[in-house]
Amino acid sequence: MDELRELHHLGFDHLTIGVESGDSETLSMVNKGYQSGEIIEQCMKLEVAGIRYNLFYLVGLAGKGQGERNATRSAAVFNQLHPISIGLLSLTLFPESQLYKEMKEGLYQEATEHERLDEMMTLISKLTCRTHILARTVSNPIPFTGYLPTDREVILHDLKEASSRLTEEQLRSYRDSIESL
């Protein structure tokens, strides 16, 4: 803890952490090397030391049919913390990635595009921490940003509207056109 306070004293006061999920089951599946409790423990140490941080969440990481569980458990973890922002990136598999290889071998099923939108809506609806939500990367076919809880209803409305308007094929075509992140 003293090391963190010393870093803060030296001017190191902002960190971005790619936790990808707050769901221990998902974290184990992708061999992250830590569990949800460790996210809470380490982020609380940063808070005590006065070091601000942002989190990144990887939408779709848990795979087909697992997004609601992943989002619900992740929100429960994030709600115990005080991140400046939570960035939402949507999983995009490239041939050189391990998950792509597992998908090709039938060991992993990728979430559909509509499942990903549902997962984002679940996460946003369950987050109670005050934070900035950032989802303006190329990996998100519906880019948005806002503050929670203030902008929650507008974000959810826009995501629901886009989900009802866009077909799976349209959304998938967008994802397939991504050459790099």
Instruction: Tell me which amino acid residue 170 is.
Output: Q
Element (H, E) at 28: helix 24-29
pLDDT digits (tens, 9 = 90+) for 126-136: 999 999 999 99
Q: The pTM is what?
A: 0.92
Is residue 162 within 8 A of residue 142, CB to CB? The reply is: yes
pLDDT digits (tens, 9 = 90+) for 53-63: 999 999 999 99
φ, ψ (nearest 5 deg) of residue 57: -115, 135
Under CATH, what is the fold of the domain 2-176?
Transcription Regulator spoIIAA (3.30.750)
- With a cut of 70, say whether residue 5 has pLDDT above it: no
Residue 12 confidence (pLDDT): 72
DSSP 165: H
Where do the domains of the chain lie? 2-176
